[in-house]
């Protein structure tokens, strides 16, 4: 229930500021966008989201530079930043939230399970956050969505 309250207040803040939102999601697989869409009237601010679960889709759909992925991997702050910035332009939104990382059980790209990166980008600024958790896969996905809604509200309140 807390997520719905946060989503509702986030949508209200976006409406108040006359801003649009989109997402580029890997390990959350559209959960952030769905949480926003659960709020009545979200269509006034939510333009859409990209689910780029596979590495190739980050390049094809979100236009993330392949060199970023080759150099840093998809489990990286650089990839999260590129996803947020590029998807913001692709979706033509004022604000874009990205989610990338490893919510699985095993290390990947030499990085531990439970390490995820999330970013918020507007036309001028970007903030990136690293989370490293021992939560289960689905708990981490839900936590990241909630965490980024709270961070987005703070970002817009600065």
Burial of 44 (0-12, 13-18, 19+ CB in 10 A): exposed
pTM of the model: 0.94
Query: 2-157 adopts what CATH topology?
Result: Maf protein (3.90.950)
Q: Which residue has the higher pLDDT, 1 or 112?
A: 112
C-beta separation of 111 from 73 below 8 A: yes
Q: Domain boundaries in the chain?
A: 2-157
**pLDDT of 4 strictly over 60:** no
Identify which of 110, 63, 69, 113 has the alpha carbon closest to the alpha carbon of residue 90: 63
C-beta separation of 40 from 113 below 8 A: no
pLDDT for position 1: 42
Identify which of 101, 79, 78 has the alpha carbon closest to the alpha carbon of residue 28: 101
pLDDT of 61-113, one tens digit each? Answer: 999 999 999 999 999 999 999 999 999 999 999 999 999 999 988 888 999 99
């Amino acid at each position: 229930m807390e997520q719905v309250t946060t989503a509702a207040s986030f949508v209200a803040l976006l409406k108040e500021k006359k801003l649009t939102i989109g997402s580029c999601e890997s390990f959350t697989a559209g959960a952030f966008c769905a949480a926003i869409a659960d709020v009545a009237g979200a269509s006034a601010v939510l333009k859409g989201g990209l689910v780029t679960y596979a590495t190739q889709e980050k390049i094809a759909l979100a236009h993330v530079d392949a060199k970023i992925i080759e150099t840093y991997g998809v489990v990286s702050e650089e990839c999260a930043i590129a996803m947020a910035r590029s998807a913001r332009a692709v979706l033509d939104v004022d604000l874009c939230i990205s989610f990338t990382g490893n919510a699985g059980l095993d290390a990947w790209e030499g990085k531990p399970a439970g390490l995820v990166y999330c970013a918020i980008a507007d036309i001028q600024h970007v903030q990136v956050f690293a989370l490293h958790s021992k939560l289960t896969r689905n708990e981490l996905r839900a936590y990241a969505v909630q965490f980024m809604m709270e961070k987005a509200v703070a970002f817009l309140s600065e």
